[in-house]
């Protein structure tokens, strides 16, 4: 046991180094592209957006790099390790980060994006985005933390969780890799994101593991892969050979709330139990990390919500240590 543990630990440190190097390599490229854009006449804000878009999915590109290096195997080992061990979490002071006057948030709080400052962000193309907040720290909260924040506070009208993944999509005779956001049932409601066609998820569509194989397409994917078919609602496709039914198409301007991740479609988080049977948030709620975004109640002040979150975070820490 000790032998395997040490090997896995060493592999973990190696992954962290490789990840840091990958981040730095990509960041260098982004900075050069931004400089080029600015010297070509773009505003700094547009320059940064254009640089990120030139990757058509920075996070996907990084995933491909990791896959090329076989680092994904290490990630799997790490997930096994964490679900096997009781995690002694340090006293994390989860912070509420106001999304709005910030606009599009960065999904991964990593050093890769430290050069991006507030000037880069635009307001989100969503109604009342002023009341949207994220909950994050150096790490993202575990799914069980998210549930505690959601159910143990009274400051949000809704708190949503989401994560990203890549899957193979097959529809008719065409197929390909797509960028997928796995989201809690209330995600679209919390964001007040509008649909171009059909509807978005209802909260009970995220209850049973694998119970609701439904999906919302991005406007872009609907155009590129499904030929802007006006009768698309009700049709199906497969992800990793698992069938999904299309219930809606997001509005043209909605592209998720994370820069650098190409959102091709959205599925309920509970479907991850089928797509990743060995390791998913329902199986490992204490170690599976999620991104969290929520809407403050109109009468709630930022500081008040911050205090409520800190209280829950402290309680969660006690549970973890105990």
Partner 1 sequence: MKKAKADLLQGTLELLVLRLLRSGELNGWDIMQRIQLVSSEVLSVTPGALYPALHRLEERELITAVWGSSDNNRRAKFYRLTASGRKQLEAERATWERFSSAIDAILRNA
Stretch that binds partner 1, among 63-71, 129-137, 222-230, 268-276 (CB under 8 A): 63-71
Q: Residue 136: is it exposed, middle or buried by C-beta count within 10 angstroms (0-12/13-18/19+)? A: buried
CB 184, min distance to partner 1, A: 28
Q: Binding partner 1 by CB under 8 A: which of 4, 43, 56, 240?
A: 56
Residue 221 near partner 1 by CB under 8 A: no
Phi and psi of 315, rounded to 5°?
-65, -40
Cα(310)–Cα(240) distance, integer angstroms: 39
> Interface mask (CB under 8 A) for partner 1, residues 173-192, using x and -?
-xxx----------------
CB 20, min distance to partner 1, A: 11
Query: 130 near 101, Cβ under 8 Å?
Result: yes
Query: 248 near 200, Cβ under 8 Å?
Result: yes
What tokens does 282 get? Answer: 């329902």
Between 61 and 196, CB nearer to partner 1: 61
Query: 312 near 149, Cβ under 8 Å?
Result: yes
Q: Binding partner 1 by CB under 8 A: which of 9, 14, 45, 64?
A: 64
CB 183, min distance to partner 1, A: 24
Following CA atoms 268, 308, 83, 180 in sequence, which dihedral angle do they give, to the nearest 10 degrees? 30
What tokens does 130 get? Answer: 């002023």
CB 63, min distance to partner 1, A: 9
The residues, ordered by sequence, that sit 6+ positions from 230 with a Cβ below 8 Å of its Cβ are 197
Following CA atoms 133, 134, 135, 136 in sequence, which dihedral angle do they give, to the nearest 10 degrees? -140
Q: Residue 172: is it exposed, middle or buried by C-beta count within 10 angstroms (0-12/13-18/19+)? A: exposed
Residue 21 near partner 1 by CB under 8 A: yes
Between 57 and 256, CB nearer to partner 1: 57
CB 109, min distance to partner 1, A: 21
Between 25 and 204, CB nearer to partner 1: 25
Stretch that binds partner 1, among 48-56, 91-99, 153-161, 182-190 (CB under 8 A): 48-56
CB 209, min distance to partner 1, A: 32
CB 105, min distance to partner 1, A: 21
Q: What is the CA radius of gyration of the chain?
A: 20
Q: Binding partner 1 by CB under 8 A: which of 70, 231, 234, 298?
A: 70
76: helix, coil or strand?
Answer: helix
Host H or E run for residue 161: strand 156-171
Query: 233 near 175, Cβ under 8 Å?
Result: no
Q: Binding partner 1 by CB under 8 A: which of 38, 65, 100, 116?
A: 65
CB 29, min distance to partner 1, A: 5
CB 19, min distance to partner 1, A: 12
Q: Binding partner 1 by CB under 8 A: which of 55, 78, 226, 302?
A: 55
What tokens does 280 get? Answer: 């998913």
Q: Binding partner 1 by CB under 8 A: which of 24, 204, 253, 278?
A: 24
Q: Binding partner 1 by CB under 8 A: which of 19, 26, 250, 281?
A: 26
What tokens does 150 get? Answer: 């959601």
Residue 69 near partner 1 by CB under 8 A: yes
Q: Interface residues with partner 1 (CB under 8 A)?
A: 21, 24-26, 28-29, 31-33, 54-58, 60-62, 64-65, 67-70, 174-176
């Amino acid at each position: 046991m000790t032998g395997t543990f040490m090997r896995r630990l060493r592999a973990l440190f190696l992954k962290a180094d490789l990840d840091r190097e990958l981040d730095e390599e990509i960041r260098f490229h982004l900075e050069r592209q931004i400089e080029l854009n600015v010297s070509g006449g773009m505003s700094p804000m547009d320059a940064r957006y254009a640089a990120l878009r030139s990757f058509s999915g920075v996070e996907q590109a990084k995933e491909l790099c990791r896959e090329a290096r076989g680092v994904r195997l290490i990630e799997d080992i790490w997930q096994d390790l964490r679900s096997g061990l009781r995690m002694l979490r340090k006293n994390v002071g989860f912070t509420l980060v106001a999304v709005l006057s910030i606009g599009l948030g960065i999904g991964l709080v990593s050093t890769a994006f430290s050069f991006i400052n507030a000037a880069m962000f635009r307001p989100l193309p969503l109604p009342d985005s002023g009341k949207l907040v994220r909950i994050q720290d150096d790490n993202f909260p575990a799914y069980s933390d998210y549930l505690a924040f959601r159910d143990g506070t009274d400051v949000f009208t809704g708190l949503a969780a989401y994560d990203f993944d890549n899957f193979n999509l097959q529809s008719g005779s065409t197929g390909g890799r797509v960028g997928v956001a796995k989201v809690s049932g209330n995600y679209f409601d919390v964001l007040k994101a509008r649909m171009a066609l059909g509807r978005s998820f209802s909260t009970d569509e995220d209850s049973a593991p694998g119970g609701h194989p439904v999906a919302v397409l991005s406007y872009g994917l609907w155009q590129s892969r499904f030929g802007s078919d006006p009768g698309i609602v009700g049709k199906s496709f497969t992800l990793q050979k698992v069938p999904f039914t299309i219930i809606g198409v997001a509005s043209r301007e909605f592209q998720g709330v994370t820069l650098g991740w190409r959102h091709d479609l959205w599925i309920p988080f509970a479907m991850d139990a089928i797509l990743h049977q060995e390791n998913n948030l329902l199986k490992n709620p204490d170690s599976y990390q999620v991104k969290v975004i929520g809407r403050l109640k109109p009468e709630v002040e930022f500081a008040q919500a911050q205090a409520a979150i800190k209280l829950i975070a402290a309680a969660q820490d006690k549970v973890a240590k105990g």
